[in-house]
C-alpha cells in the first residue's frame, strides 16, 4: 500500500515536471526601438560663402568623421567636374587632357585638415552620426601653401640642370612632370573654394613644366657604334632603343648619348667535348665626353665548328632577352 502511494506520487511529480518543460516560452516583443536621426543629419546644412559642411556615419566617432571628410571632398569633386571642361578648355588644354577623365578620383585623394566637429550623436550601439565643417579660406590657404612649396621644389630641380647632360635632364624632367601633374587637383579645388585664387597662373606654370619636358625629350638622341665583332649586337640594341620610343642618330653630336659596343669572343669546352662560344659584349655610355654608365653582357651559345652561327644565335637570344628587360639591365643606363 505504502509502495503504491509512493509510486503514484513520483509518477504525478514527473508528469508535472514534463508538462512544465514542454510549455512554450512567453512571447517576446519583436519591436526594436531605434533613436531617430537628428534633424541636422537628415537635413544637413548646405555650403555657404564661408564654410563647407558634411555629415557622416559609422560605428565610431572617428570613423564617422573620416566618412564625413570623404563626403565633403567628394561633393567638391562632383561640383568641380560639372564645370571643369568649360573652364579649362580656355585656360589650359593640357590640364583638360590630363585631368578630365579622372577628376573625381584625383580630388578624392586630397586631405582636409582644418575642420571642426559641430555635432556628434550615438544612434544605436553600432552607429554614430556626425556633422563637420571647414573654413573655405583656411582650406584654400593650406592648399596654396602646399602647391607653392611643390612648385618651388620643382624650380630648384630645374635650375640644377644647367650643366647636365640630356639623359640626366630627361630623367629629371620625367619625374618633375609627374610631380607637377599631381598638383592639378589641388589647384582646381583651391580655385573652387576661393574665388581669389589665381588658377590660371598656376595652370600656366604646370603647362610650362610639361613643355620643358617635351623639349628635352625631343633632344634625347642615341648614337650606337662599335667594333666588327659587335655588328649584329649593335643592330639589336638599336632596335631595342627604337622600340622604346628613343631617337637614334647616324653620328655623334654634342648632345647625343653615345653607346660604344665592343665584343670579345672565345671558345671553351664543357663536359663530353661540348664546345661553347662565349661573347663578352662590353657596352660603355658617354655624354659630353664623360662616362655615364655601361654594362657587360655575357652571352653563351653552343659552338658547332662555326663561330658565325654561334654569333648569330647569340644575337637572336639577346633580342629575345631584351623583350623582358629594362634599359638598366641591357645598357646599364637609367632611362625613365
Which CATH superfamily hosts domain 39-135? Answer: Acetamidase/Formamidase-like domains (3.10.28.20)
The answer to whether residue 9 scores a pLDDT higher than 50 is: no
Convert the pLDDT of each residue in 201-213 to its tens digit.
999 999 999 999 9
> d(Cα 221, Cα 167) in Å, to the nearest integer?
9
The answer to whether residue 65 scores a pLDDT higher than 80 is: yes
Higher pLDDT, 172 or 192: 172
Higher pLDDT, 129 or 278: 129
Convert the pLDDT of each residue in 83-123 to its tens digit.
555 454 444 445 544 555 455 566 767 888 889 999 999 99
Which CATH superfamily hosts domain 221-331? Answer: Lipoprotein like domain (3.30.160.150)
Higher pLDDT, 165 or 97: 165
pLDDT, residue 109, reads 74
Residue range 142-168: average pLDDT? Answer: 92
> d(Cα 156, Cα 144) in Å, to the nearest integer?
18
Domain ranges for the chain, please list them. Answer: 39-135, 137-218, 221-331
The pLDDT mean for the chain works out to 82
Residue range 175-184: average pLDDT? Answer: 92
The answer to whether residue 321 scores a pLDDT higher than 90 is: no
The answer to whether residue 59 scores a pLDDT higher than 50 is: yes
Give yes or no for a contact between 51 and 136, defined as CB atoms under 8 angstroms apart.
yes
Q: Indicate the pTM of the whole model.
A: 0.73
CB environment 184-198: b (16+ within 10 A), e (fewer): bbbbbbbbbbbeebe
CB environment 92-104: b (16+ within 10 A), e (fewer): bebbbebbeeebe
Give yes or no for a contact between 282 and 289, defined as CB atoms under 8 angstroms apart.
no
Strands 221-226 and 257-269: parallel
Convert the pLDDT of each residue in 233-290 to its tens digit.
899 989 988 988 889 999 998 889 999 999 998 888 876 778 888 888 999 999 988 9
The answer to whether residue 26 scores a pLDDT higher than 80 is: no
The answer to whether residue 4 scores a pLDDT higher than 70 is: no
The answer to whether residue 13 scores a pLDDT higher than 70 is: no
Amino acid at each position: 500500500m505504502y509502495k503504491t502511494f509512493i509510486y503514484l506520487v513520483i509518477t504525478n511529480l514527473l508528469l508535472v515536471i514534463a508538462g512544465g518543460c514542454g510549455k512554450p516560452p512567453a512571447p517576446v516583443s519583436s519591436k526594436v526601438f531605434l533613436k531617430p536621426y537628428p534633424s541636422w543629419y537628415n537635413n544637413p546644412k548646405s555650403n555657404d560663402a564661408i564654410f563647407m559642411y558634411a555629415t557622416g556615419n559609422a560605428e565610431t566617432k572617428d570613423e564617422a568623421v573620416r566618412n564625413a571628410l570623404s563626403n565633403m571632398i567628394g561633393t567638391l569633386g562632383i561640383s568641380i567636374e560639372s564645370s571643369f571642361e568649360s573652364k579649362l578648355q580656355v585656360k589650359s588644354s593640357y590640364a583638360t587632357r590630363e585631368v578630365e577623365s579622372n577628376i573625381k578620383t584625383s580630388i578624392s585623394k586630397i586631405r582636409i585638415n582644418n575642420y571642426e566637429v559641430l555635432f556628434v550623436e550615438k544612434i544605436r550601439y553600432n552607429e554614430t552620426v556626425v556633422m563637420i565643417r571647414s573654413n573655405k579660406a583656411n582650406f584654400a590657404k593650406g592648399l596654396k601653401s602646399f602647391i607653392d612649396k611643390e612648385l618651388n621644389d620643382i624650380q630648384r630641380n630645374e635650375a640644377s640642370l644647367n650643366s647636365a647632360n640630356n639623359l640626366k635632364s630627361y630623367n629629371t624632367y620625367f619625374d618633375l612632370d609627374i610631380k607637377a601633374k599631381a598638383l592639378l587637383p589641388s589647384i582646381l579645388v583651391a580655385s573652387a573654394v576661393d574665388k581669389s585664387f589665381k588658377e590660371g597662373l598656376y595652370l600656366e606654370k604646370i603647362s610650362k613644366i610639361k613643355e620643358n619636358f617635351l623639349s628635352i625629350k625631343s633632344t634625347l638622341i642615341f648614337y650606337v657604334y662599335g667594333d666588327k665583332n659587335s655588328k649584329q649586337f649593335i643592330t639589336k640594341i638599336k632596335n631595342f632603343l627604337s622600340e622604346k620610343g628613343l631617337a637614334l642618330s647616324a653620328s655623334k653630336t654634342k648632345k647625343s648619348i653615345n653607346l660604344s659596343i665592343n665584343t670579345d669572343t672565345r671558345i671553351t669546352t664543357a663536359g663530353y667535348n661540348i664546345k661553347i662560344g662565349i661573347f663578352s659584349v662590353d657596352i660603355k655610355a658617354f655624354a659630353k665626353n664623360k662616362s655615364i654608365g655601361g654594362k657587360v653582357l655575357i652571352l653563351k651559345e653552343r659552338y658547332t665548328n662555326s663561330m658565325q652561327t654561334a654569333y648569330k644565335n647569340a644575337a637572336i637570344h639577346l633580342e629575345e632577352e631584351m623583350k623582358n628587360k629594362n634599359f638598366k639591365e641591357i645598357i646599364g643606363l637609367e632611362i625613365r
